[in-house]
Structure 1
């Protein structure tokens, strides 16, 4: 039976994912705007619905970590088995969220191992879990892993094995933007752009190639260098980036799960309790 702590962690993770989905305007990514005209071709309501299907799996991951007590090969094997079952459940609910399941699953397990840990400790524990190989992984390589090998990109596995450096950087940006007076939506968009500005996104590598990836990274940095989305110039640059991505049917899908991971870590209380991430009264910026 899952403990209240396991349930709290899982609900916080799903809330973080839903918060990521609700944020707009996310350049080239699913958000509450008219997605039928966007590159992702995913219905936003369906994505919000299927996000809830992660909840039982994330609770089971937290329980497995709490029961195992250390970032061991045994725990890695349990998380992998739970993850594959959860992928099937999410598929029945409409699909999507594979990257979020990987990111949030590891972070939820890490948080369960050491309640009250700070973000650096939690990501380090996630790193130790991810360091163990998944010996029962399907032998057929995924598109992401194939692209990672071809271009030498870290990919989702490399990000986890490095201790989620982009999540840590995005969390710093989130905090700094709030301190500087940005709205919650603006702070979250700046955090997303921080990830996009340096992430070797395997989805972009697949669809846009190395040159396209570098161009998108530079344009994301341009928004931040213009002062972020809280400034008039930053908002204009964000709009241009969104138009650029949609016109080419490019989507920086690797960045979205890392933003969800950022919001999850932000929501963890200092003493092992869970508090909701701040919810802005208006989560959508006007383009």
Structure 2
């Protein structure tokens, strides 16, 4: 059952919240459509996954359509983090119900939800420019809330964190998403500025993220060896010109097969790509006057 507020007939979110919510879903569509990408689900391949495909992702996105709107509407109304946490829990339930228990977007519910919330808060009367970097950095305002509370030690991500002594996604969020600010946003922005087609710009950004991220999904599936392999392959692809090389698609197809043979899937990096897409889209929409600022409630 989808218990998200945006599904209620009496629910009336602000114009800015509706637009931010649509941008978030658009960014997740953009990540799904990006192809080819190693080990990950695309419209043409299930990658390294045997339990999901593009249709599974589309059911998940349909279930989440109200979550990001509700988050954008709720965030400026209170400094209390608890309502946002509850929305995230409801969104995860809706996702699992839509997919038959398959985790398609748990990471994006968390990370992208935080970014949508802060994008809305920055527009609520503060006058702070909602640049992509500013939105990321402002998530650190919730540092204490993000680091408080116990996590499920049996979850794949937490097992990977403990086994390999790496920082998880909530630590990244508490620090204001440094990987997004240092890699995801500038790579995507530069690729688009250089005139690369949208799909090529997304592939380039994804590979930069894979090369630099301690991706918990890679660690869960392949251990430290799998992570090192994936990072080395991504760095080699980039060193040979990335998507600017004339044969990049052929080389990417080979790379995809090597990831699938090892059942590797850089799902954490894919979440960061979706976040990068959202952040630049909301920045561009604001510059065009399509995301009006509103008075704080």
TM-score by length of 1: 0.86
* Residues 231 and 85 (structure 1), Cα distance of their counterparts in 2 relative to 1, 3 Å cut: same
* Residues 164 and 255 (structure 1), Cα distance of their counterparts in 2 relative to 1, 3 Å cut: same
- What residue in structure 1 maps to residue 68 of structure 2? 58
Kindly provide the CA deviation profile for residues 238-257 of structure 1, in whole angstroms up to 9, marking residues without a partner as x: 22221110111111111111
- What residue in structure 1 maps to residue 32 of structure 2? 21
- Aligned to 2:163, the other structure's residue is in SS state helix
Q: Does structure 2 conserve the Cα–Cα contact (< 8 Å) formed by 1:226 and 1:233?
A: no
Instruction: After superposing the two structures, state which structure 1 stretch, 155-164 or 125-134, moved more.
Output: 125-134
Q: What is the Cα deviation at residue 140 of structure 1?
A: 5.1
Q: What is the Cα deviation at residue 121 of structure 1?
A: 1.0
Equivalence map 1:120-135=2 (5 Å): 120-133=133-146
RMSD: 2.0
Unaligned 5+ residue runs, structure 2? Answer: 1-11, 124-128, 292-297
* Residues 138 and 177 (structure 1), Cα distance of their counterparts in 2 relative to 1, 3 Å cut: closer
- What residue in structure 2 maps to residue 156 of structure 1? 169
- Aligned to 1:254, the other structure's residue is in SS state helix
Partners of 1:255 and 1:139 lie apart in 2 by 22
Query: Is residue 2:159 matched to residue 1:146?
Result: yes
Q: What is the Cα deviation at residue 128 of structure 1?
A: 2.1
Q: What is the Cα deviation at residue 39 of structure 1?
A: 1.4
- What residue in structure 1 maps to residue 294 of structure 2? none
- What residue in structure 2 maps to residue 195 of structure 1? 209
Partners of 1:136 and 1:155 lie apart in 2 by 14
- What residue in structure 2 maps to residue 215 of structure 1? 229
Query: Is residue 2:107 matched to residue 1:99?
Result: yes
- Aligned to 2:28, the other structure's residue is in SS state helix
* Residues 130 and 234 (structure 1), Cα distance of their counterparts in 2 relative to 1, 3 Å cut: farther
Partners of 2:153 and 2:263 lie apart in 1 by 27
Query: Is residue 2:49 matched to residue 1:40?
Result: yes
Q: What is the Cα deviation at residue 158 of structure 1?
A: 2.0
Aligned length: 268
* Residues 27 and 104 (structure 1), Cα distance of their counterparts in 2 relative to 1, 3 Å cut: same
Q: Does structure 2 conserve the Cα–Cα contact (< 8 Å) formed by 1:268 and 1:274?
A: no
Partners of 1:139 and 1:221 lie apart in 2 by 33
TM-score by length of 2: 0.84
Q: Does structure 2 conserve the Cα–Cα contact (< 8 Å) formed by 1:80 and 1:134?
A: no
* Residues 63 and 225 (structure 1), Cα distance of their counterparts in 2 relative to 1, 3 Å cut: same
Q: What is the Cα deviation at residue 274 of structure 1?
A: 4.9
Partners of 2:148 and 2:71 lie apart in 1 by 18
Unaligned 5+ residue runs, structure 1? Answer: 276-287
Q: What is the Cα deviation at residue 98 of structure 1?
A: 0.5
- What residue in structure 2 maps to residue 30 of structure 1? 41
**What is the aligned counterpart of 1:184 among 184, 198, 205?**
198
Q: Does structure 2 conserve the Cα–Cα contact (< 8 Å) formed by 1:202 and 1:254?
A: yes
Query: Is residue 2:282 matched to residue 1:268?
Result: yes
Q: Does structure 1 conserve the Cα–Cα contact (< 8 Å) formed by 2:68 and 2:116?
A: yes
- What residue in structure 2 maps to residue 230 of structure 1? 244
Kindly provide the CA deviation profile for residues 138-189 of structure 1, in whole angstroms up to 9, marking residues without a partner as x: 6554220121122111121122122212222122111222233321111110
Query: Is residue 2:128 matched to residue 1:118?
Result: no
